[in-house]
A and B are shown apart, each in its own frame.
Chain A
Amino acid sequence: MQRLDELEAQSVYILREAYNRIDPLAMLWSMGKDSNVIVWLAKKAFFGRVPFPCVHVDTGKKFKEMYDFRTRYAREWGLNLVVGDCPPIEAIDPSLPPAARSAARKTDGLKALIEKHGYQGIIAGIRRDEQAMRAKERVFSPRGLTGHWDVKDQPPEFWDQYKTDFPPGMHIRIHPLLHWTELDIWHYIRREEIPIVPLYFARNGKRYRSLGDQDITSPIDSNAATIDDIIEELASTRTSERAGRAMDHEHEDAFERLRAAGYM
């Protein structure tokens, strides 16, 4: 089997397990390239439909292009879109560094949404190659009531038997793309012709490699104006994908603290 076919089959298997075992279930849709790939995989898994709500935890600070994309594809893809608000910055732990504090709004917004709808499972598009902390994740990763992630006491996970038994009060984060790399994502987007937000393509020598809030995400120097260009650029780069995400780099353990508290 080709690598992309293997990845697709594995992710479809994971999505079907989540849908069968966990109810109610929702997926996080940020309109970023990875979460668009999950929507696509879900349509493959469930033969043209996405049988659970697509949740956007809206900080109100995304790019206009992303909001336009949300409006258009929520309709075209027939998604059950659920938008959740985030608390104001003043309500967030002031001991966090500024960018992490800003990103933590999203964590609190997600917590509120999980409580409101009683979601037992949240599908998120994180990948192991993005960041060292995420490399330690499980495909089915339990979270306590507060969304807390206990990295030192994770359940065993092998032979594609995932954690689907958990006590009340807990929920499960499901990561169907955990085994993909950034390059896999782009190869798949090219093969399947999956729509993406145009901000990924270079304009005036800059492009976004990873999309977050406007004020804490910066573009990289690039002339990659097509998917082929991007794939070529990534094949030779050794800079990390999240280099443009300010909250990861404020302190040696800034991202670890964010994740332990429930950030994706």
Chain B
Amino acid sequence: MAQASGGLLKIVVVGHVDHGKSTLIGRLLYDTGSLPPGKMEEIKAMSERRGMALEWSFLLDAMQAERDQNVTIDTTQIWFRTATRDIVIIDAPGHREFLKNMVSGAAAADGALLVVDAREGVREQTRRHGYLLHLLGIRQLAVVINKMDLVGHSRERFAEVENEITRYLGEIGVTPAYVIPISARDGDNVATAASSMPWYQGPTIVAALERFQALTVPVEGPLRLPIQDVYRFDARRIFAGRIESGILRVGDKLLFSPSGRSARVKTIEAWHAPMPVEVRAGQSVGFTLDEQIFVERGEIASHEDRPPMLTTVFRSNLFWLGAEPMEPGKVYKLKLGTREAPVIVQAIERIVDTDTLERRKGERVERNAVAEVVLRARDGKPLALDEYRSIARTGRFVLIDGYDTVAGGVISMEGYPDQRQALTVRSSNLFAVEHRVPRDVREKRNGHRGAVLWLTGLSGAGKSTLAMGLEQVLFQRGFHVYVLDGDNVRAGLNTNLSFSPTDRAENIRRVGEAAALFADAGFICITAFISPYQADRDRARAAAGTSFHEIYVQASLSTCETRDPKGLYKRARAGEIADFTGIDAPYEAPTAPEMVVDTNTLDIAPCLEQLADYVERNLAGAGSPMPPAARVRDKESTAPKR
């Protein structure tokens, strides 16, 4: 029977260029009798035409271009069958610049063969591929030491290379299941045990592959069901997605993250099959809820007692595929499960040299490099995720730059707390009521968009002066505009708050929320607060969403101290004021503001001109086409078919 007992096994074959991957694959096909009739003759003829000895790798190279260059270009899949199971080989190329093809093939594999040339031993790509297999989450590995015929089938040489590779793999936490000496060209230890190496007692490659386990999905883990879509084809409102971990049952109370909404599973839907009462990891499912709650694509459904973490910042180990290097402050689109969100590179902590495993400081991550990077949610909205080591499928992500996938990474929360408690909304039973005057209608009448212009900078940098000046300029040009200024707000809305760190954060939170309401009402709201912490500004950004414009009013501490309009620096220096920003409390300059105005070098008038220009360019004229970044979101909110 065709579907053999061991189940289909997907393996990837990797290793340094010219260490014999393609030859090994050709030999595996031949020795297991998996070649179509006439194929061997075809390859012989092809090799002779090119004046070479029998070239096994031609079996794999379907394309003219590849044959001429004698280099495997892209991932190819080849099926063959042993006595007990069906196997798919994903052939991955050895050339350094083809990393993206290798990860495309290898990420789907159950196990891997890492091929090492017995003469050359462990080389740069041997280590690199070993490291990437580990990063991609491939845990079953057999090391194949090839070309043993060229080292006289030497047991000593085998032991040397075996030592070298197991030591490297050990350092990254990988233990190979087998280390097998072979000669692919002669077929020694490929499918049949070799008489040339009687000292080797382990399995042949075929026997090793038969013992590999097919990848299983984690049924035992906590439930993770990223919502893929919500269908309303008929009276039913069906939530669709694939279970990445755990089990879902009818009647389960589900928690959706990050929204925090919850409801019970009413039915599990199916077509052309009985409706199940229980579905498990690996299945693509659809279910209905007992309550009408708003849940959209990107949320993760879990049980209430074992939810994913919520955070606006996380640490990752990633490989970089982008042509342009990754740099701090750059913004990318994160895809994690079905969620998409903008993230900013907060810090590149270490660049990992996969050859020596050294970790060094670096300002940029170049193509094909591996690095440890801290990423932060650009819009300040929390992300639901897991650590890779606890739940792999919700603990890994890709990054998109423009139209291209530029990175794959795995998540660690080392040094960062779960923010679920801090982010949980205390008031429940809230129902948003919809306005009868939609925001875009307001904006059309006003002739400009509503927005928050958030000025941040040291005391004395010129925030209030610029805010009041800009208000006047914009008002004269017909904009609806209002300034929220520090001292003014503290006299009313925030009169009950002190200058303690907690109350300062609350001060900024309230201002952020109030400013967002102004923007929603169609106003341009200018705020003038020191707002020294990025986390606080991120929260204000989260409140206003895409209407938020962070503007860094830049001036050096010495400039500000010289100006000292309110005499505060003098008092702080004298110790009369504690926790004064710039003196004995930090100011975190924005890493990626929408705009910077430099009051060190420019007078007020040109700064105002720059600000007014910015508003004219970005906010004037409602109903103009949305910027490209908004394309997808726009589609979702207008799609009538759901």
Residues of A bordering B, CB below 8 Å: 1, 3, 5-6, 8-10, 12-13, 16-17, 19-21, 23, 43-49, 51, 128-129, 132-133, 135-136, 138, 151-152, 154-159, 161, 163, 165-167, 181, 183, 187, 192, 231, 234-235, 238-240, 252-253, 256
Pick the residue among B2, B74, B393 that contacts A231 (CB under 8 A): B2
B3 at the interface (CB under 8 A from A): yes
> Are A234 and B271 CB-contacts (below 8 A) given A136-B75, A159-B408?
no
Inter-subunit contact B76/A132 (CB<8 Å): yes
B2 lies within 8 A of A166 (CB)? no
Contacts of B601 in A (CB 8 A): none
Mark the stretch among B14-22, B394-402, B606-614 that contacts chain A: B394-402
Quick check: A151 and B74 within 8 Å, CB to CB? Answer: yes
Closest to A23 in B: B635
For B406, give the chain A residue with the smallest CB separation.
Answer: A156
B143 at the interface (CB under 8 A from A): no
Q: Are A12 and B335 in contact (CB under 8 A)?
A: no
Residues of A within 8 A of B282 (CB): 1, 5-6, 9
What are 16 inter-chain pairs, A to B, with CB distance below 8 A?
A9-B282, A13-B228, A13-B242, A17-B228, A44-B271, A48-B271, A132-B63, A156-B101, A156-B104, A158-B103, A158-B104, A159-B408, A163-B405, A165-B402, A183-B2, A183-B3
User: Could you say which of B106, B283, B297 has the most chain A C-beta atoms within 10 Å of its C-beta?
Assistant: B283
How far, in angstroms, from A3 to B283 measured CA to CA in the complex? 12
* 16 more A-B residue pairs beyond the given contacts A47-B286, A256-B64, with a C-beta to C-beta distance below 8 A: A5-B282, A9-B284, A17-B228, A20-B228, A20-B297, A47-B270, A47-B271, A133-B62, A135-B62, A151-B74, A155-B100, A156-B101, A157-B104, A157-B405, A158-B408, A238-B36
Contacting residue for A135 out of B76, B238, B335, B400, CB 8 A: B76
Does B488 belong to the interface (CB within 8 Å)?
no
List residues of chain B with CB within 8 A of the CB of A129: 77, 79
> B39 — nearest CB in chain A belongs to which residue?
A238
Q: Which of B2, B217, B228, B639 contacts A234 (CB 8 A)?
A: B2
A13 touching B79 in the complex, CB below 8 Å, given contacts A3-B7, A158-B107, A231-B2: no
Assuming the contacts A47-B238, A49-B233, A157-B104, asked whether A3 and B8 have C-beta atoms less than 8 A apart, the reply is yes
Find residues 137-185 in chain B having any chain A CB closer than 8 Å to their own CB: none
Asked if B78 lies at the interface with its beta carbon under 8 angstroms from chain A, I say yes
Q: Does B136 sit within 8 A of A, measured CB to CB? A: yes
For residue B474, CB closer than 8 A to chain A, the reply is no
Using a CB–CB distance below 8 Å, which chain B residues touch chain A? 1-3, 7-8, 34-37, 62-65, 73-79, 100-101, 103-104, 106-108, 136, 217, 228-229, 231, 233, 236, 238, 240, 242, 269-272, 280, 282-284, 286, 297, 321, 333, 335, 393, 396, 398, 400, 402-405, 408, 632, 635, 639, 641
For B238, list chain A residues within 8 Å (CB).
47
* B136 in complex: contacting residue of A152, A158, A252, CB < 8 Å: A158
Q: Decide: A256 and B103 in contact? CB cutoff 8 A.
A: no
Can you list the 5 inter-chain pairs with the closest CB atoms, starting with the nearest? A132-B62, A158-B107, A156-B100, A12-B284, A235-B2
Query: Cβ of A19: which chain B residues have Cβ within 8 Å of it?
Result: 229
Contacts of A49 in B (CB 8 A): 233
Complex Cα–Cα for A138 and B73 (A): 14
A49 to B, closest residue via Cβ: B233
Point out which of B8, B63, B136, B393 has the most chain A C-beta atoms below 10 A from its C-beta: B63
Q: Which of A23, A133, A165 contacts B63 (CB 8 A)?
A: A133
Q: Please, how many angstroms separate the alpha-carbon atoms of A19 and B635 in the complex?
A: 12
- A5→B283 contact, CB < 8 A: yes
Pick from B73, B283, B396: contact of A9, CB below 8 A: B283
CA distance A125 to B242 in the complex (A): 22
Contact residues in A for B36 (Cβ distance below 8 Å): 238-240
Nearest neighbor of A194 in chain B, beta-carbon distance: B272
A94 to B220 CA separation, bound complex (whole angstroms): 60
Beta-carbon contact of B1 and A238 below 8 Å = no
- Interchain nearest-CB distance for A36 vs B (Å): 14
A210 to B335, CA, bound (A): 38
Q: Bound state CA distance, A165 and B522, in angstroms? A: 31
CA distance A180 to B479 in the complex (A): 60
Tell me, in angstroms, the Cα distance from A154 to B37 when the chains sit together: 32
The answer on a CB contact under 8 Å between A159 and B398 is yes
Q: Are A156 and B3 in contact (CB under 8 A)?
A: no
Asked if residues A9 and B242 are in contact (CB atoms below 8 Å), the reply is yes
Set B34, B101, B321: member contacting A154, Cβ < 8 A: B101
B107 touches A152 (CB 8 A): no
- Contact yes or no, B272 A43, CB < 8 A: yes
Q: Is A256 within 8 A of B242, CB to CB?
A: no
Query: Across the interface, which residues of B come within 8 angstroms of A21, CB to CB?
Result: 632
Tell me how far the C-beta of B592 lies from the nearest C-beta in chain A, rounded to whole angstroms. Answer: 20
Are B408 and A138 in contact (CB-based, < 8 A)? Answer: no
CB distance from A142 to the nearest CB of B (A): 9
Q: A177 to chain B: closest CB distance in Å?
A: 13
Which one of A46, A156, A239 lies within 8 Å of B37 (CB-CB)? A239
Verify B64–A252 contact, CB threshold 8 A: yes
A163 contacts which chain B residues (CB < 8 A)? Answer: 403, 405
Chain A residues whose CB sits within 8 angstroms of the CB of B236 once the complex forms? 47
Q: Which residues of A contact B242 (CB under 8 A)?
A: 9, 12-13
B residues near A240, Cβ cutoff 8 Å: 36
B284 contacts which chain A residues (CB < 8 A)?
A: 8-10, 12-13, 16, 45
Q: Are A135 and B283 in contact (CB under 8 A)?
A: no
Q: Which residue of B lies closest to A260 (CB)?
A: B63
Q: How far is the CA of A17 from the CA of B77 in the complex (A)?
A: 24
Q: Which has the most chain A C-beta neighbours within 10 Å: B136, B282, B393?
A: B282
